[in-house]
Chain A
Amino acid sequence: MLRLPQFQVESPDTVEGVVAALQRHAGARVIAGGTDILPNLKHFLDTPPVLVSLARVTALRGLQRDDAAGLLRIGAGVTLTQIAEDAQVRALFPSLAHAAGIVASPVIRNMGTLGGNVNLDTRCRYVNQSEFWRGSIGGGCLKSEGNVCHVVPKGRNCVAAMSSDNVPVLISLDANIVLVGPEGRRVLPLADYFHADGVAHTLARPGEVTVELQLPLPAGPRRARYTKWSVRRSIDFPLLSVALRFDLAADSPHAEVLAAKVVVGVLGAKPRVVTRLDEALGKPLSDPAVARIVSEATHAQCKPLDNVPYEAAYRREMLRVYTRRGVEAMVAEG
């Protein structure tokens, strides 16, 4: 079978223990559910001497509503199945419950955690292959052992795709990420956590571990939705991924839009927050103009690349269709 590289495993009981272990072992990596890192290690994309496991850190498994802070706090170690099935998440953040519930496959959702999914390594057809395979294309690329890009010829910046289903949704819901590292704890908007370098696409500092995602409780009526396309309905990564959120003046699809947020994944290394949606504000959500404005802006601003399967031109065209349909579906659902 495809072998893992050799490593040691440390399994601290506390977040502090995790941080200390990461400091002790240069090059150590964190493992939670294992569904992303272990295939990557089997592909020898990294050979860390030590894996620091979060399996025993029970403090990361909480999911609670903090009314004082106006937040839902989801521990990084909560599994995607738990999020998809949690009554509070389903009631307050249905787009997140939906996205978490259609990641990969049921067995993977039983293992994979929200913290792991937020930190899912970027993906590319030229990267997520065995070491042997990468040798057969001439020795890898910017993100593996080579120094070229096979997606953007002469490109010097890795464009591997941010492929998490949950990240666009969380950003659309104004989520914050909580990190703990040697210098302590910090909270930053998830929207600011990513940057456009597929090799290291998050701002996590060495030795930092994600401990929590915070979702501000809805302040007023709104509609939110996640829409994606993958070739199969299971065991597949998204090839197209759009999160939508509309704050409304009243709890009706015919109420006017007060704020609109659209976040798109599977482009480059960074999810894209679609801008210039002002034209949609003030119109009823059910006004077809809203769907049109939002989908046109998405189409105009998002340019998929040939970093994942299926033609970029097709996926770009589909951004318009999926975004428009996402809005239409919210209206249809009432």
Chain B
Amino acid sequence: MSHLLLSMTVNGEAVQVAAPAHHTLLEVLRYKLDLIGTKQGCDKGDCGACTVQIDGVPQLSCLTLAVHAVGRAVTTVEGLGQQAGGCHPLQDAFDRWNAAQCGFCTPGILLSAEALLRRCAGREPTRLQVCEALAGNLCRCTGYTKIIDAVLDVGRQMAVAAAASAGEVAHAE
């Protein structure tokens, strides 16, 4: 089985990894790069546990060939905290809200949620927007309630921070 040498950026670092052409990004992340935070739940795109961001967009790593990540920037849950200097506000909010029970779906949900908040750009998302953005990620433990609470909590904080900094800008002007 011949291997390809694949170059991509993972969590901000340039990596080269050898893998056969029929391997998915999920396998390469988990078993070659030891980025075990990305989970495998259903084998084929039905659960969202394997969600990562590719060039900032949430995608299913179980349905992405590793070769398709070549030259692109992949962000996994390990990278989410790094971006924020250790712990992302979403991770902190999920912890405060007990939004992770078994935690197996959580990495994928965090990556979907982060993309939503980035798109909101300081506007507070509605409950429906949160549900729509996370509707590709199944959670079997929580009944979703605490997850929604946690995401809305961060959305509110970001909206407050955005309003405050807009106020400062206005003031400075």
Binding site for B on A (CB under 8 A): 1-2, 4-9, 11, 31, 33-35, 38-39, 42, 51, 53, 55, 81, 104-108, 110-111, 233-235
Contact = CB atoms under 8 A, between A and B. Distances in A.
A233 to B, nearest CB: 7
B58 to A, nearest CB: 5
A153 B61 CA distance: 39
11 contacts: A6-B22, A11-B70, A38-B63, A51-B65, A55-B68, A81-B57, A107-B51, A107-B58, A107-B136, A108-B45, A235-B47
B121 to A, nearest CB: 14
B67 interface: yes
Given A38-B63, A110-B59, A235 B68 contact: no
Given A6-B20, A6-B22, A38 B57 contact: no
A1 B65 contact: no
Nearest to A106: B136
Interface string B56-79: 011110111101101000000000
Given A6-B1, A6-B22, A42-B44, 5 more contacts: A8-B21, A34-B65, A104-B136, A107-B48, A110-B58
Nearest to B42: A2
A4 B45 contact: no
A106 B24 contact: no
Interface centre among B46, B48, B70, B135 (most CB of A within 10 A): B135
A38 B51 CA distance: 16
B67 A235 contact: no
Given A7-B22, A107-B112, A35 B67 contact: no
Contact of A107 (B22, B60, B67, B70): B60
B40 interface: yes
Contacts of A108: 45, 60, 63, 136
Contacts of A35: 45, 60, 63
A235 B20 contact: no
Nearest to B20: A6
Nearest to B57: A110
Contacts of A31: 65
Contacts of B68: 34, 53, 55
Contact of B44 (A33, A39, A105, A110): A39
> What size tier do the contact residues of chain B reach?
35 or more
B64 A53 contact: no
Contacts of A39: 44-45, 63
The listed residue with most A CB atoms (<10 A of its CB), out of B27, B63, B132, B135, is: B63
B135 A2 contact: no
A108 to B, nearest CB: 6
A6 B1 CA distance: 9
Contacts of A81: 57
Contacts of B133: 106
B135 A235 contact: yes
Interface in B110-154: 112, 132-138
Contacts of B132: 106
- Most chain B beta carbons < 10 A, residue from A7, A33, A35, A38: A38
Contacts of A235: 46-48, 135-136, 138
Nearest to A6: B22
B43 interface: yes
Contact of A7 (B21, B43, B46, B136): B21
Given A5-B22, A42-B43, A34 B63 contact: yes
A70 B133 CA distance: 35
Given A6-B1, A11-B67, A234 B40 contact: no
Contacts of B60: 35, 107-108, 111
A210 B23 CA distance: 26
Contacts of A5: 22
A115 to B, nearest CB: 16
A51 B24 CA distance: 13
Contact of B64 (A11, A111, A233): A111
A110 B108 CA distance: 14
A11 B44 CA distance: 23
Contacts of A38: 24, 44-45, 63, 65
